[in-house]
Amino acid sequence: DTAVSQTPKYLVTQMGNDKSIKCEQNLGHDTMYWYKQDSKKFLKIMFSYNNKELIINETVPNRFSPKSPDKAHLNLHINSLELGDSAVYFCASSQVAANTEAFFGQGTRLTVV
């Protein structure tokens, strides 16, 4: 069984469109994350959410918004897509306890044309 699954794996869309990426974890974790990996391969946190608190990286444009219907899901909505949004987006989950690893989904490769 896949621990952290995100869909779609690939997403090609035009500038200006609105799109969503879904993420689900079946590990019973209480914290979920979204990371962006750009063309330089640098992984940068966008959001962390533990069903009590949403922490937003202040550098993330407000066109990006996380939606969590329940503890097992954290979806990413992106409005008015721009060329610079092209990247690989990774969802991850962990327990809030300090010394526990995070598990990642396989990533969504977003290409904005």
Partner 1 sequence: RKEVEQDPGPFNVPEGATVAFNCTYSNSASQSFFWYRQDCRKEPKLLMSVYSSGNEDGRFTAQLNRASQYISLLIRDSKLSDSATYLCVVSSSRDGSARQLTFGSGTQLTVLP
**Piece of 13-21, 47-55, 60-68, 77-85 that binds partner 1 (CB under 8 A):** 47-55
Is residue 60 a contact point for partner 1 (CB under 8 A)? no
- Please report how close the Cβ of residue 17 comes to partner 1 at its closest, in angstroms: 24
Residues 69-108 that bind partner 1 (CB under 8 A): 90, 92, 94, 96, 98-102, 104-107
- Please report how close the Cβ of residue 83 comes to partner 1 at its closest, in angstroms: 21
Compute the CA torsion angle 33, 37, 38, 44 (nearest 10 deg).
50
Cα(85)–Cα(44) distance, rounded to whole angstroms?
13
Q: Which residue has the tokens 């503890």?
A: 71
Is residue 55 a contact point for partner 1 (CB under 8 A)? yes
Cα(106)–Cα(92) distance, rounded to whole angstroms?
9
Number of residues located near partner 1, criterion CB under 8 A: 28
Residue 71: CA atoms inside 13 Å, Cβ hemisphere, count?
11
- Residue 101 burial (CB < 10 Å; 0-12/13-18/19+)? exposed
- Please report how close the Cβ of residue 93 comes to partner 1 at its closest, in angstroms: 11
Q: In the complex, which residues of this chain contact partner 1 (CB under 8 A)?
A: 31, 33, 35, 40-45, 48-50, 52-53, 55, 90, 92, 94, 96, 98-102, 104-107
